[in-house]
Structure 1
């Protein structure tokens, strides 16, 4: 009896230890990798997932894995998934093309390092239905928008209640604050977001969200066009059109002056001859 009891206690302890290890490995590095928590898309849609990381991981390989538990997840290697690393912005993106229902599940943004890879998870839901007909489903016309410094950009998020910056603050129907950002409710299920007086540091990843999921949107702010580059050097330029016209008129007047003088003299002589007769 004692031996069996001791064995059962050992199994319980082993199970608890395994749970602790799973918990530790699942949450290791989650504060260093950031992404959204859930994305819902329609079948055959292409979706891009941003994975933001801290600077120290810039030169390390990045990848996506899938599986409900991190330590049992497997590397995603099929041809419809591509990963692109942007070290300048400390973010890598995973793009899934032509999403299928069977692609639904938990995914992990991860960085290959020595020891346990830092990671963050999200859930992808792919549906057969037409999400445009479901008001509560999030959708945007495009995951990318762009504008120039000093200008404005507007994003329309259907089915959204908030607009947030990844690793930043939020603004929405119930308030919140995000610098130089205004939100308006177009109708019951649409949020119109305007970023105004854009600055280059506004570039980055944002998301529309509701109570259930998020939809990532990348904003690119380009430098304002320098109009001086289209202006020729004054020392090398030709005279302006108005100066050419003035010179032309002076030449015409100069050529006509002798004729006018002669005609005037003839008319004066004729007038004197008439008075004398």
Structure 2
């Protein structure tokens, strides 16, 4: 009776497992050299965005152990709820870390999960890349080298997306695979912001995840800012020129008015002056007009505060010197 109950529970477990294949998507098999780190992306459905995520280790799902609870310093998890991908980073791996892992989402009843196999070796891994995190620029291209020594079919895929075997495109990005010694190269051209995401190299059942980040082209941004700064500089220069021209016009007008008013004031007759000094007055008027600065000093003109003058009954008023359209 007990044996029948165990078989019944096992049957239910496998039924739920088979019907849950699309809830979480990740790589199948990954190889890494010891003392290195590995990042595993786990894609999940949008309905599980707020559910807790964890990594489980063990051959049997029901008996696996939460790695975060056993060794929290060994594993870190980051959840990108916008892209619906949580990434698991296993640090400083050793051969004892080899085995079956499960990308898991905690749900009341039956947790959602997807297994992957991790193989840690002392020698060179069967499939590896130079960098798992690669950055490119919008409109440019990037090259990823996938190293392997097998004759198995090779391809480049986006997680939960399309794959390319030789030449093709993924989300509008041109993809080309070319052979190289002990592996193949992936060239992604005409990058757009939509090219950002997780991909993987594949050689047979071996896979290696790679994250592509596409940024704005700094050269284009610098050119735009250069144009903006140039326009601002031009506008500033034009404003300075207009201001200087206006200031010069004000000064010229004021000096001209002062000379005219001074000349009128000096030409008025002085009843207290002797008749025989007429010739000297004409000579003095000529000298004053030819040397306006000395004339201003002789006649008591205060240049700083523009006070009114009184000379021989004549008056020079401050209001007369005002420019009708500017103030200096």
TM-score range, shorter chain: 0.7 to 0.9
For 2:38, the equivalent position in structure 1 comes to 47
Cα RMSD (Å) of the superposition?
Answer: 2.2
For 2:101, the equivalent position in structure 1 comes to 107
**Aligned residues of 1:26 and 1:71 also touching (Cα < 8 A):** no
Classify 1:229/1:28 alpha carbon distance in 2 versus 1 (closer, same or farther; 3 Å): farther
Give distance in 2, aligned partners of 1:109 and 1:169: 22
Compare the two structures and name the one with the higher helix fraction: 2
Match of 1:195 among 188, 205, 212: 188
Give distance in 1, aligned partners of 2:23 and 2:168: 25
Which structure is richer in relative contact order (CA contacts within 8 A, separation 6 or more)?
1
| Corresponding position: 1:142 with 2:127 | no
**Aligned residues of 1:28 and 1:119 also touching (Cα < 8 A):** no
Give 1:164 shift. 1.0
| Corresponding position: 1:33 with 2:39 | no
Cα offsets for 1:192-230 (capped at 9, x unmatched): 101110111111111011113100000011123323234
Larger Rg computed on CA atoms? 2
**Aligned residues of 2:168 and 2:174 also touching (Cα < 8 A):** no
For 1:223, the equivalent position in structure 2 comes to 216
For 2:163, the equivalent position in structure 1 comes to 170
Give 1:63 shift. 0.8
**Aligned residues of 1:66 and 1:76 also touching (Cα < 8 A):** yes
For 1:208, the equivalent position in structure 2 comes to 201
Cα offsets for 1:84-112 (capped at 9, x unmatched): 11112211111011101111111111112
- Residue pairs, 1:1-277, within 5 angstroms: 10=1, 13-27=4-18, 29-77=20-68, 78=71, 79-131=73-125, 137-159=126-148, 161-172=154-165, 178=170, 179-187=173-181, 189-225=182-218, 226=221, 227-230=223-226, 231-232=228-229, 234-237=231-234
Q: Secondary structure of the equivalent of 2:231? A: coil
Unaligned segments of structure 1, at least 5 residues: 1-9, 132-136, 241-277
Cα offsets for 1:219-271 (capped at 9, x unmatched): 0111233232343162444659xxxxxxxxxxxxxxxxxxxxxxxxxxxxxxx
**Aligned residues of 1:162 and 1:170 also touching (Cα < 8 A):** yes
Cα offsets for 1:130-177 (capped at 9, x unmatched): 34xxxxx1011000111111110110101172111111121225x776
**Aligned residues of 2:99 and 2:117 also touching (Cα < 8 A):** yes
The worse-fitting range, judged by mean Cα deviation, of 213-222 and 226-235 is: 226-235
Give 1:129 shift. 2.1
For 2:260, the equivalent position in structure 1 comes to none
Give 1:60 shift. 1.8
Give distance in 1, aligned partners of 2:168 and 2:12: 38
Unaligned segments of structure 2, at least 5 residues: 239-328
**Aligned residues of 2:168 and 2:176 also touching (Cα < 8 A):** no
